[in-house]
Structures are given as structure tokens and as C-alpha cells.
Structure 1
């Protein structure tokens, strides 16, 4: 987290000193040769070490510092220069990645015996191990290997660096760390950061905590997978009395915070315990840490009354982060007396009641976050009376919070970050925003504004990076260009009443959402300049028309044919043009969008065949929605190559041909583990017609739970492939309103996760397979208007479908829930036992056979009724052969009936 990183620079290691080279003494030759050997083994794609040349004074090389007194190299600082702004939104990440060093670290460096400072941070050494020979630099005082791409274990030889004052191994891929018993040998250590070093298998991790050097002033072990009960940490028995900053966040610690855990760490100024699973109230002994200024407990399960917790805080507290816990109650009125408070984050709790006006007296407050609670009431200008230093104000998602400040109010602050979503700011657009000319983030979605956007607005937010005015009723014409928002990365204006055309966009823009407005016209050619940076583009539910731009550049000349045209490379991952009037064939615009995972062109006027290159050129595609267009031709079998596709909607087009077996064998509809890696923001929706209705799904988590195949409303023919039974995690299958024939495959019972099945309005025949009753999650079924026959299966889930309309239009079906009864297991009914295609012929046959049997029986039985001796002789004969005759007649009768039915 950024606050952790800031904290690192608040603890200077003053004991580390390097004598800078300032005189005329040249570097020592053997050390220059050692550095040149080091350079020879290093990968340097951007020539960072270009100043390292033979015959030059190495003391003047980039990153090299020599002693002014002896000429020995004492400092080697090769950290990536772009790290100074790595958390700035405007950083050029391409150049940052390009300027990293890599390759092998040559042991020739050992010739630099007087080295006391080595920094290789923010490079990329390709998960190679940290060289063991680093432990031989006996004079080393400062070692920073953070975020340098090292992997494997940590060499225990680092324990030989007994003069080391500063050690940073954080943010690497160090995962095979079995022992850290070398740490206590660093007796002079003042700064230790091993964040993101996986210590889960280090058998001595708890014991070492009690033996760390007493000289330590900074200890950061963020995200180390320590995963123990918090009370088991031996901090109370350690000798870390000089500790100033302690970071143990994101470690899966669980249980309460014991009263005596922090022992006598009275020098502690910063305590980071966020991102764990701590429960209960903070201990009363916390108040004994009289020098504590920063307490970070974000994302735990701390519970209880907020007023009681704040009574237990140390008197000098300046920064408090309790966000993402289970705190309840109202903010205490005496909050105004915490005069030192500059940072207060209580977001994502269950706080209620009013915000006390006294909060406006916290003159040092620069960050206030009370978002995602249940706060109510009015916020007036008194709440901000003396907040002259306020830079961040987050009150979002307190749905009963209303801001009433008057149209002429001039705030005492200059905000950079504003989050007021779901607060009541309307109906008029808040005029106080006009004075906030330094805004970087402005989030005012769903705030009840029903007004025209003021003309001054776009000038005021010229430095904005994140803008969200969605879910209001804001009207007005969009500017022809937004290029003046030169650093904007995300603009979200969805669900308003904006009109006009799609404006020219800043080249920095990554996310644009203009959905659910009244935007008209075509998509401008200028959009081609944005596809290299845009990742998310949502223009759905507008009035756009015309063909999509192709964004093509010729390899040869303007005379080149289409085969010589190459699309501009794109970073697009999410595109939605749903519900417009766009037309044309499937857009070549997407041909080089190799990262595209969400594409929604549904409810437009696209036509022509589906491009076969979709399966090859869009390998990350997880959602493909082309419903309600005019696409025709076959469904290309190349779609089966989309390994991550788990929602395919081609419904209501003019597609024809058969359903190829490979098209019902999508990998991602077979197993959950096949879902790709993709990001879907909350404002993007997935529309799926399932269970007889259109349902919208939001956020990646919910979308990933939906797996759907909808080919309904086309002209598909042939049989449903048997292979469809392999789609074990498919939840929605809709093949209705086609011309499909044949049986419903028995394999349909393999759709174990199926919730909705619609095969209606086809030409399917035969019996309903009994395997359908095994679909235990099925909650919607429609088999109407086919030619199905026989008994409707019963048992398990099918018994819950008591609506006969789901079977209507199948005249040869019988059994519950329809009124037509069945005569037996063969599916024939009592009313008409001879329902076969040649029914009249079969009726005559059975009638003749029955009359013949009756006459024959009377000829044999009649005389016996009048002559007793004949009767006795006859029945004696019958007794001898009755078993054989009985068996013979029954078996042959069964064969006759079976043969008749087959014919």
C-alpha cells in the first residue's frame, strides 16, 4: 500500500555515510576492470551503463561513487531511475520496463573490497537467485535488492554482513525460504524490509522474531504468509525497544490483539497491522504507546463501538486507518479534540448516526474517508469550517447523507480527491466544485443531480485523472474534444442525458463509458488514435449509427488491397456497443485486439458472415455477445479455439447450417479452472437471456459464475450434438426457435450445472431422455412446440415443473403435468392404444386377431362343457405340457408386438 511505502522514507538511516568523490584522484584500475566485467555480464537493453567505458575514470561513471580520500569505489547505485515516480499515474511504464537491468551479476565485484553501499532495486534479474558472494562484502552497510526480480531462497551468507545497517529484500519472488536464522547475526541492523518474502515454510520464523537485533528501528514484514495466531508472536518478549516503525500487514494473522503483545515498545511511532484477520476490540494497553502517531488496522474484523475504540488510542495519534472492519455506533462528539489528527479513514464499516459538526475543527486534517457506512443527516458548511488542509474527502455510499451548503459557499480547502457517490447533492449541480481547480479524482455518481452541466465545469477539471458522474440526470452537449484533459485515464458519464457526438479523446485515456445517454452520429475516425491506450470502451445504449471504423494503415501504399492492411495494435480488453444502430460486417477494428476478453455488439444492424479469424486473433475472449443482429451463414468452427469463452450469445440472427460437435466443446464451459484472467469494472454489465427473462450481471465475480450458450432464434438445422453433454459447468442453454431435428441426446444429463434449458420451437422428436431428471440445479425448462412423444420422465428435479405449457405443442406426450394419461411403460394411452403412423391398418390387424382367438377358444372349450370324460383326458394332457406352451407363447407374443412397433 502507498502508505507503507511513504512510511519507509520517513525513517532516515542517518548512520550510512558515503564519501563523495570530489577531487582529482582517479579510480583504482582493478576496481575499474571489475566493474567492466560486471557490465559485460549484465543485460542492459537501454544502455543505462553507456558511460562505463574503457579508459575513462570509473569514479565518474553513472551510479558509481568513489571515496574522495582513497579513490576506492564505495557506492554502487544502479536502481532504476524511473522508480522515483513509480506510483505516479503519469509514469511511462513502457520506458520503465525498458530501462531495467538484468542478466548475471558477475562475482568480479568482489574486487571492490571497500564497497559499503549497493542498490540494484527495481530491475529484473529474471528470478535468478541472490548471489551468495554478496555475503563477502564485509564493509557493506546498505543493501537494497527490492523489486529486482530475484527468486528462490535467500543465501544465509547474508548473515556475514555484520556491519549492515539497511537491508531491503522486499517485492521479489523469494518463495523457498526454509530458514532465516542468519538474521540475528546482523547485529548492527537498523532497517529491515522483507515484505513479500514467503516465510510460510520457514520453520524458525516465530523464534527468530524474538532474536532480532536490538538495534532495529524499522521492521517491515508485509505479506510474508506468516499465518499464525497473533498472540503467538513473541514481540512482548523481544528486545526491540528501539523500534520506531513496525509493519506486519497482509500476513493472515488471526485472533485478538493481546494486551501485552507490544510489550515495552514505547518508541513505536508507526504500527501497520492491516490486511489480517484480527478480531475483537483493540487492547487498552495500546494507549501506553505514547509516541504512536500512525495506526493502520485496515481490512480486519475489529469490532465494537467506535467511541470505545477511540478512547483507547494514544494521545499523539495523527494517522488512523480502521477501514474495512466491523465497527458500529456513532462518531463521538469529542472527536474535535483530537487536534493532531491529519488522516482519518473509517470507511467500509457499519457506522451510523450523524457526522458531528466538531469534525470541522480538526485543522490538521488532510484526509477524511467515511465512505460505505450508514451515516445519515445533513452535512453543512460547519462540517468544513476550519479544514483548510483537507485534500481528500470520501463520503461515498452513505445513502441517507445530504450535503446542503448553499450556492454561494466558498470552501476553505482545495480538494484533490472527491468521493461523494450515492450522497444527495442535487437537484442542482454543486457550484462549490467550481473553486476546486486541483481535482485529480472526482466521483459524484448517483447523487440525484438533475441539471444541465455548467459551462465552467470542463475548465475546472483540466487536471482530472478519474471522473465519474454516472447515474444522474445531467444534461448538456458533450464538447467536440476532451483532448484538453491531457492526463485523464478514466471518464465515466453513463446513465445521464448527454447528447451530441463522441468527442475526440485524450491519448492518455484508458477507460471511457458513455453508455445510456443520447449520443448520436458515427464513431469518429479520431478514435483510431486512442485504441493504443484505451482498455475499456462502453458506448452501449445510445443512438450511434453507421459502420465501425477500421483503423487500418497500409503496409505499402494507398493502392494496397485489403490483404496488405494491418490494424493498429490495441490494448482494448472490454468493448460494448450494445443497443445502437451500428451496421456493417463484423468489424476488422477488432482484428488485432489480442487482449480483448469482452465484446458486446448485440442489438445492432451488423450483417454478413462471422469472421473465422475471431477464434485465432482474439485468444483471450471470454464473452462474445452478438444477439439481435443480421449475421448470416455458418457458425465458424474456429470459435472452438477460444479456450476462455464461457458466454456465447448468437441469438436472433440469420445463422444457418448445423451445430458442429466442436462448437459444443468449449473448454471454459467444461471446467472452472479454464476461466481466463480478466478485469471487468462494476459499471460493465453482461446481459443474458436465461430462465425466460433478460438478466443483467455486474462485476467480474458475478460474471464468472455465469456460463451460457445461446444460439436461439436462428435457422440452424440438424441434430443436437451428443458432445453437448461435456459442458459440465454450463448454466444456460438456449437452442429454441431453430429447425433442429432428431432426439434430445441422452448425454444432456451431463450438464450438471444447468439451471435453464430452452429447446422450444424446433422439430425435435422421440422421447424425452430420462437423464434430464438428473439435472438437480435445473429451475427453468421449455420443450414446447416440438414433436416429442412418450411418457414425460418423472423423478427428482422434473417433479418441480408443474406447468403443462412447457410441454405444449407436443401432441404425442403423455403423463403429468399434462392431462393426457399413459397406459403403461410403453407410453401408449388408454384412450387410443394404437397411436402409430399406420394406425388404421394396425387396428384391423388387432381386431381380426382378437376375433380369431375367441372363435378358436370356443371350438376347444365348448365340447368339454358337455362331455365329462373328454374334459378329464384333456386337462391331464394340458398338465404335462402347460409350462412349455406358456413360455413359448409369451415369448413369441412379445417378439410379434416388438416387430410391429418397429415397422
Structure 2
């Protein structure tokens, strides 16, 4: 998992390093785009020094990266400035952000990275540096400002890198004036094309072009311009450019890109089959990236004509057919083949063993079946083998790995019918770095061959049938592991009192085992800790005060922990151990779950410093006291707040409504009192779909929502986006339900049951158009059920029992589907289907509590009205029964006016009854 979820910052840094490799590999002459630093002798030219100082004056430099620009008069010695030894002119300006101290801590990395970025305005004074041929401003942040048009005036420019620099808006077409340009990188900005991109073909010398994440959807001539790119191009990256066309409409196959070596068209959502002539005469092509599109069918046979192709990435498409047929269509020199996330079927073909050049083979997430053949061990150059999440069966033995001496990455996870059987003394020929055998059958003993794998970075053996205790040697072997996942097994015993020796560990997941004893001391490097669903006992150790300084995810739920949290987590002075660092501890936490323990104490004060917290679950414990009003201010990112089944008391702070991203609020089963303030039911994220904000919550983090009469388990933030819930049930809340609650248009679960709420059910509840579950039972609500509830078309669960509701149960639309009388039980004055009590006019008299003084007078009125109606009816109907011509004329007349009479009578009868009830 950790391998697949590296931060975008790390990816960008890797790309930065790879650029220099690409320059050499694709024969882009480095000497032509950079000039050696000036070694001495001539000083920089004065007007160019003044231009640089003017440039610096307009730049924002929070960490003083350009501090050397204040030292001396020789600008050729300033940081990032290179002059020509021959002329003394400034020819190179390299001001990229070179922050490299990434440590898998997203928030800290982002703070440090942003602190070293340059921003502000790019001053036109640079135009005085006429001989500039190299400009690199990558990995900075210019606040979505446009790329200055004057950059197109540097007629000697050969290298221009503006990647990931925070530029926005349209790309200036003046860049087309840089006719000597060899290298152009505009990737990872917020750029979009203008109405046309005809300036691109004018860069006739270009060899490297990266426009990753540049939005080309608005360019009316985009497809045509792509087909007219200069023939000199060797590297073309158009990843995630919103080209969004059928593949046949992108005429790269008719272009003259015969020198192209690397082509990246990933994330463009091309749809349809890959046409036979797509790549035309690109016979020099070595790398082809088509990942994350919508390609269907089998790959074309003409693909085998690309004899130099070494890397083919077709991952995350809908390529279908037999894997054997696909392999026949591949060129012979393939070294890296990525086909995961497609619809391939069949078993591995025997002649795959002859593709001995393969170094990376990823066939994961398909529908491949059968046994894994032992001849796969003949692919002696394999470094990465992934067959995860298919339907492989049978046994995989040491014969499969006999000659895989270079193997570093092995993933067989998600094949639940695959069993690994090797001898207890087997010594593998490889040294693995990444191991993922989750959901394979490995147990009951921990695999002894792992003892030889001392270079592991990732080890995942989740749900693999391992039982009993872990061998003592395991802890030595995994001392360099960054990602450890042994969850969902039956491992028991006691962990070592300290795991601090796992100094490289970034994530430890031991959830759903049978570990006992106390929570150990943990390594300071740790960012993710999941010890949930075990049998850990005792109190949370004092050492946790140090661990939460760096933790981002902490899950200790479903254990037997008890007592109060350490004082450092409850004190008003919850700061780091270093007195000079006043950053509150826990400031990097994003996910915390203490669910289902016996922890006690007031609401932990150290959460005040958790500004990035978006998931907090303290439910099913013994926390007490009032809910602090600072939650709404100090936890601005909170998306899920679960405090169910504790002993919290007092009022619900109206400041909770300031939590703009709150999707799930569960305060049920506490001792809360007071009214539900109208301002409290104004949660932005429950009001509009557009307010949803995406967060990363890993699959192993779950939360419960009691909805539709049952507890449902939600495991990922993706599922959280489908659930918006407000549960205030089983408290002592009083007063009326505010009309404003109807504004929570995206709310799916509302439970206010078992309180002391009074008044009518608000008509405004008809605005809860997303509602699926509504429980208002066991309150003191009165009045009629509002007909607006019939408009809730998604409502599938309703409970209004045990209130004081009265009148006819509304029928029609959604309410018609609820035929269970128990949902209205305990409301003695309700009538009509589905309960057995009829309403007035349905055959029995409805006893409305008409409280007025003239009761006898009203009875006489009803009797007189009934007799008068009967006599009048006979006078009219009687003659019609005996005179046919009269009856025909009469009914013809009635047919013509029946609609008007019906509407008139119904409306006036309703007004009449309403007036009686008011008296």
C-alpha cells in the first residue's frame, strides 16, 4: 500500500531526478542547454546584475533561498546563476526548489517544501539578460499567476522548465517564438490551452515536451496541432490533458514523429479500440504509456512492429480477451509490461517463458485463472512480479522461484485459493524489497523463509492464515521495514515492550489479531499505527506523548484499554518535549480512533492542536463532561465525529456548525440536554454535494453508522462520501425540531429518537431529498404527520412510533411503501392505513378533541345536516329512477360540469372542517 500511495511531492522529486537521465538517454545535448560555471577572471556584467537584483526584489523568498545574492558584486557566484566563461554573460538561471528531505510525513513535508518555494512576480527586468539560454523555475509556487508573455522574447532560450511552479491560466502563444528551444516542461501546473495551440509546431528544434496536466480540451486545433509536432521530438508527455477523444480521432499515426522514443498519453480517457495504424512509423519508440484510459478490446497485431519497444503500460483500461492472444502481439524486446486493472482472461501461456527480457511483469487485477506454472522461474531477469487479485489456484512452491535471483518485488495478494508451500529450510535465491502475499494461504506458522529477507522495505501478509506467536527472529528481520501489515490473522502473544528498534517504520498494521499485554513503545518515525481489534490491556502508556508528535493515523479501537489518557494528552500545556518547539503535539494527526475501550476522562484537550484532524472516534468509552466549544474552531478539517455511548453532558455547542466538512456526527447515547439550536443544523457538508472534500482514509480504518435500524460498517472515505449522517438519539434533548433542519439536502440518515422533543414535525423536512433513514420515535411530538414527507423519494426506513401524533397518516408517493403498522405504534390519535384505526368518513367516527362550549349545538347541527342531505338526495334521484329521458339528460349535464363541482366541493369541505377544528 505504501508503495502505491507515495505522495505527489515524492513523485515530482523522482521526475526531477529522472529528467537528467532522460537528457542523456534520449540524446538531448546537455552541453547545448547549459554552460559550465564561470571559474574566475571576468566579473558579471553590471546591467545583468542589476536585472537580477530587480528580479529578486519582486520575488517572495520566505526562507531566503537567494541570500547569496546580497554577497559581493560578482553575480556569477550567486546561487543558481551561471555565466559564460568566454563572455561573462549570464546564460543560466536555475532557481528550482531543491527540497529533498522527504520522510513520508505529508504535512511536515508540505510545510518544509512550501517554506522553500519562491513566489511573487517575475520581473520584466530579466529581459536585460539577452544571452539567457536556460531557465528553471520548477517546484516553486507563483500563486496561479500567468506565465509572463515576455519569456517568449529570449531568442537564445534552449531549456525552459516551469513544471510544478504554481502557474495558471492560458499558456502564452509567445512561447512559439522560442525557435531554438530543445527542452520545454510545463507539467503539473494549472494551465490550460488558449483557443489554439498552433504555436507548438513552430518549436522546430524541440526534442523534449512535457505538458502533463495541461488542459487542452478548449483547443479547437488541438488534435491537428498534435499531428504537426516537430519531427525532432524524442520525448512527448501529454498525460492527463483532457484530450478525451476516440483513439481514432487522434492522428498521431499520421504524424512524422519518427524519432519519438518516449510517448506518454496516460489519463486522457481515450475510448474505443486501439486502431491498427495508431503508431504508424514510430519505429524508434521505446516507451509507450496508455495507462488510465478507456481502451477496449484486444491490442492490434501491428504493435509487434515496434521492434524497439521496451516499456508498455496499458494498465487501468478495459483491454479484454485471452492473455495468450495478447502476448502473441507483443514486440520481442519488451522489458516492462503493465497490464493490471483490465479484463484479461485465460491462463498464462507456456511460451511466456521465452520472454526472457522481462524485468517488470504486472498482471494484477484481471480475471486470469488456473495454476501459476513453475516455468515462470525461467524469467531470470524478473525484478517485479505481480499476479495479485486474479483467480489463480493451487500451490506455488520453491520451484517457481528457482532462478529468480534478481527478484525484488513479489505480489500474489488477493488470490484466496493460492497456497504457498515451501520446505522449512528453503533458502530463496532472491532478496526481496517488497513482499505482498495478503489473502494467500501461508499459515498456520509464520513463513521461515522470510528470515533470509533482510532487505525488505514492505512486508504485507494480511489475512493469510497465520496463527500462534511470532518467532523472536521476526523483529530482527523487519528492522528496516517501512511498511508492515500482518492484520486479519490469528497471531497471539505479547509484543516486545518497545518497538523503537524499528527505526525506519512508517506504518504498522497489526489489527484484527489476538495480541495481548500493553501497548509497546513505538518508533519516532511512525506515521500510521493500527492496533485495533486485539486484546491489548492496561492504560495508554506515557510514551504515547512522544509518538503522537509524528503520527498521522492512530487506531487503538476495540481493545481492553482503560483509565484516563496520559496527562500530556489532557493538559492545557500539551506541547512537544523540546521547549523551544511550541507546536502542539498531535498537530499532524488526521485520523484517531479509540472506539470500544474503557477509556475515561474529559474530552482530551490535546486535540486542540490537531488542525488537520478529519476523523475522530471516541465512541463506546467512558468519557464525560461537556463538549468543548473549541471543537468548531480548532478542528476545521473534521469530517467524521463519533462520540456515541459515552457520558458527555451539557448542551451541544452551536460552534459545531462551523465544521464545514462534517459529514457524520454521532452524539447518540450520552447525557446531552438542551434544545437543538437552529444554527446547529446548518452543516455545510450536509447541505450541498459540492461541499464534499476528499480525504485519504486507508481501507483498514472503519466507522459505524446506525441507520435503517441496524449498524452498518463503512471502511473507506470513498464510502464516507456516500454517507452523511446526523444521530442525536438517546439523550435528553428538549424543545422543538428546528424548521432549518430541512436545509440539510444531502443528509442520508437522521436519528433524533429517544429524547424529549416536542412540537410538530417540521414541514421543512420535505427538503431532505437525499434522506434514506428517518427515526423520530420515542419523543413527545404532536400534531399531524406533514404530507411533505411523501416527497422523500429515497426514504426506505421510517420510525415515528411512541409520540403523540394525530390525524390521518399521509398517503401517496413514498409513504405509500411503508405498510408496517409498528412504525406508527404508540400514537393513539393516528388513523388510516397501514394501521387498523379508520379515520372519519372511512366507516367510523374519528374522535377529534373538539373543545368548545356549544357541544350540544354542534351535535344538532350535524344531525340536521345529515337529514337534509338524505331528503334532498331522494328528491333529485327518485324521479330519475322512473323517467329514462330525464335521467339521460341529467347525467349528460353532470358529465359536463363534474370536474368543477368536485374541486369546489372538496376545497370548501376542507375549509369547513378546518374552521370547526379551530373553534
Query: Which of these residues, 384, 397, 401, is aligned with residue 401 of structure 2?
Result: 384
Partner residue in 1 for 2:424: 407
Helix, strand or coil: the match of 1:208?
A: helix
Partner residue in 1 for 2:328: 311
Rounded Cα–Cα distance in structure 2 between residues aligned with 1:294 and 1:854:
92
Task: For residues 176-218 of structure 1, give each alpha carbon's deviation from its aligned partner in whole angstroms, at most 9, with x where no partner exists.
Answer: 4333222222222222222222211122221122222222111
Query: Which of these residues, 7, 21, 44, is aligned with residue 28 of structure 1?
Result: 44
Partner residue in 1 for 2:119: 102
Query: Which of these residues, 295, 303, 309, is aligned with residue 312 of structure 2?
Result: 295
Contact 1:334 1:358 in 2 (8 A): no
Query: Which of these residues, 720, 735, 748, is aligned with residue 737 of structure 2?
Result: 720
Partner residue in 2 for 1:50: 67
Rounded Cα–Cα distance in structure 2 between residues aligned with 1:709 and 1:286:
55
Contact 2:574 2:585 in 1 (8 A): no
Q: Once the 2 structures are TM-superposed, how far is the Cα of residue 391 of structure 1 from its aligned partner?
A: 0.9
Rounded Cα–Cα distance in structure 2 between residues aligned with 1:52 and 1:851:
104
Helix, strand or coil: the match of 1:788?
A: strand
Q: Once the 2 structures are TM-superposed, how far is the Cα of residue 20 of structure 1 from its aligned partner?
A: 2.6
Query: Which of these residues, 186, 192, 195, is aligned with residue 209 of structure 2?
Result: 192
Partner residue in 1 for 2:188: 171
Is 2:217 the partner of 1:203?
A: no
Query: Which of these residues, 453, 465, 468, is aligned with residue 485 of structure 2?
Result: 468
Is 2:471 the partner of 1:454?
A: yes
Q: Once the 2 structures are TM-superposed, how far is the Cα of residue 269 of structure 1 from its aligned partner?
A: 0.9
Helix, strand or coil: the match of 2:400?
A: helix
Contact 1:633 1:656 in 2 (8 A): yes
Task: Using structure 2 for the length normalisation, give the TM-score.
Answer: 0.87
Query: Which of these residues, 818, 831, 841, is aligned with residue 824 of structure 1?
Result: 841
Matches within 5 A, 1:71-90: 71-82=88-99
Rounded Cα–Cα distance in structure 2 between residues aligned with 1:734 and 1:413:
57
Partner residue in 2 for 1:41: 58
Query: Unpaired runs of 5+ in structure 2?
Result: 1-7, 576-581, 868-906
Matches within 5 A, 1:502-541: 502-541=519-558
Matches within 5 A, 1:368-767: 368-549=385-566, 551=568, 567-568=584-585, 570-767=587-784
In structure 2, the CA distance between the partners of 1:729 and 1:156, relative to structure 1 (3 Å rule), is closer
In structure 2, the CA distance between the partners of 1:359 and 1:821, relative to structure 1 (3 Å rule), is same
Rounded Cα–Cα distance in structure 1 between residues aligned with 2:216 and 2:865:
90
Helix, strand or coil: the match of 2:126?
A: helix
Contact 1:184 1:211 in 2 (8 A): yes
Rounded Cα–Cα distance in structure 2 between residues aligned with 1:659 and 1:122:
48
Task: For residues 410-460 of structure 1, give each alpha carbon's deviation from its aligned partner in whole angstroms, at most 9, with x where no partner exists.
Answer: 111111111111111111111111111111111111111112122122221
Task: For residues 674-694 of structure 1, give each alpha carbon's deviation from its aligned partner in whole angstroms, at most 9, with x where no partner exists.
Answer: 223422221111211111111
Contact 1:222 1:248 in 2 (8 A): yes
In structure 2, the CA distance between the partners of 1:567 and 1:23, relative to structure 1 (3 Å rule), is closer
Q: Once the 2 structures are TM-superposed, how far is the Cα of residue 759 of structure 1 from its aligned partner?
A: 1.8
Rounded Cα–Cα distance in structure 1 between residues aligned with 2:84 and 2:147:
27
Partner residue in 2 for 1:15: 29
Task: For residues 642-685 of structure 1, give each alpha carbon's deviation from its aligned partner in whole angstroms, at most 9, with x where no partner exists.
Answer: 22222221111111222222223323222222223422221111
Task: For residues 751-784 of structure 1, give each alpha carbon's deviation from its aligned partner in whole angstroms, at most 9, with x where no partner exists.
Answer: 2222222222222233333333332222222222
Rounded Cα–Cα distance in structure 2 between residues aligned with 1:345 and 1:715:
57
Rounded Cα–Cα distance in structure 2 between residues aligned with 1:91 and 1:284:
49
Query: Unpaired runs of 5+ in structure 1?
Result: 559-564, 856-890
Larger radius of gyration: 1
Rounded Cα–Cα distance in structure 1 between residues aligned with 2:295 and 2:865:
88
Helix, strand or coil: the match of 1:334?
A: helix
Q: Once the 2 structures are TM-superposed, how far is the Cα of residue 261 of structure 1 from its aligned partner?
A: 1.5
Rounded Cα–Cα distance in structure 2 between residues aligned with 1:553 and 1:297:
52
In structure 2, the CA distance between the partners of 1:500 and 1:213, relative to structure 1 (3 Å rule), is same
Helix, strand or coil: the match of 1:375?
A: strand
Structure 1 stretch 135-144 or stretch 608-617: which is displaced more? 135-144
Partner residue in 1 for 2:881: none
Partner residue in 2 for 1:858: none
Helix, strand or coil: the match of 1:51?
A: helix
Rounded Cα–Cα distance in structure 1 between residues aligned with 2:233 and 2:154:
21
Rounded Cα–Cα distance in structure 1 between residues aligned with 2:858 and 2:233:
102
Contact 2:768 2:792 in 1 (8 A): yes
Rounded Cα–Cα distance in structure 2 between residues aligned with 1:87 and 1:242:
38
Rounded Cα–Cα distance in structure 2 between residues aligned with 1:706 and 1:556:
36
Structure 1 stretch 512-521 or stretch 591-600: which is displaced more? 591-600
Is 2:784 the partner of 1:774?
A: no
Helix, strand or coil: the match of 2:224?
A: helix
Helix, strand or coil: the match of 1:518?
A: coil
In structure 2, the CA distance between the partners of 1:476 and 1:109, relative to structure 1 (3 Å rule), is same
Helix, strand or coil: the match of 2:561?
A: strand
Rounded Cα–Cα distance in structure 1 between residues aligned with 2:755 and 2:242:
55
Q: Once the 2 structures are TM-superposed, how far is the Cα of residue 322 of structure 1 from its aligned partner?
A: 1.1
Partner residue in 2 for 1:881: none
Helix, strand or coil: the match of 2:515?
A: strand
Structure 1 stretch 158-167 or stretch 374-383: which is displaced more? 158-167
Q: Once the 2 structures are TM-superposed, how far is the Cα of residue 528 of structure 1 from its aligned partner?
A: 2.6
Aligned residues: 858
Contact 1:602 1:626 in 2 (8 A): yes
Helix, strand or coil: the match of 1:214?
A: coil
Rounded Cα–Cα distance in structure 2 between residues aligned with 1:90 and 1:382:
45
Helix, strand or coil: the match of 2:160?
A: strand
Contact 2:427 2:452 in 1 (8 A): yes
Q: Once the 2 structures are TM-superposed, how far is the Cα of residue 495 of structure 1 from its aligned partner?
A: 0.6
Structure 1 stretch 304-313 or stretch 137-146: which is displaced more? 137-146
Q: Once the 2 structures are TM-superposed, how far is the Cα of residue 824 of structure 1 from its aligned partner?
A: 1.9
Task: For residues 490-549 of structure 1, give each alpha carbon's deviation from its aligned partner in whole angstroms, at most 9, with x where no partner exists.
Answer: 211111111222222323322211110111222223323333432221111111111234
Rounded Cα–Cα distance in structure 1 between residues aligned with 2:29 and 2:248:
34
Contact 1:550 1:589 in 2 (8 A): no
Task: For residues 570-600 of structure 1, give each alpha carbon's deviation from its aligned partner in whole angstroms, at most 9, with x where no partner exists.
Answer: 1222211111101111221211222222211
Q: Once the 2 structures are TM-superposed, how far is the Cα of residue 14 of structure 1 from its aligned partner?
A: 4.6
Matches within 5 A, 1:113-192: 113-192=130-209
Contact 2:45 2:88 in 1 (8 A): no
Task: For residues 592-611 of structure 1, give each alpha carbon's deviation from its aligned partner in whole angstroms, at most 9, with x where no partner exists.
Answer: 22222221111111111111
Contact 1:161 1:186 in 2 (8 A): yes
In structure 2, the CA distance between the partners of 1:542 and 1:56, relative to structure 1 (3 Å rule), is same
Rounded Cα–Cα distance in structure 2 between residues aligned with 1:469 and 1:615:
37
Rounded Cα–Cα distance in structure 2 between residues aligned with 1:420 and 1:83:
32
Q: Once the 2 structures are TM-superposed, how far is the Cα of residue 137 of structure 1 from its aligned partner?
A: 2.9
Contact 1:332 1:356 in 2 (8 A): no
Structure 1 stretch 100-109 or stretch 594-603: which is displaced more? 100-109
Alignment RMSD (CA, Å): 3.3
In structure 2, the CA distance between the partners of 1:605 and 1:140, relative to structure 1 (3 Å rule), is same
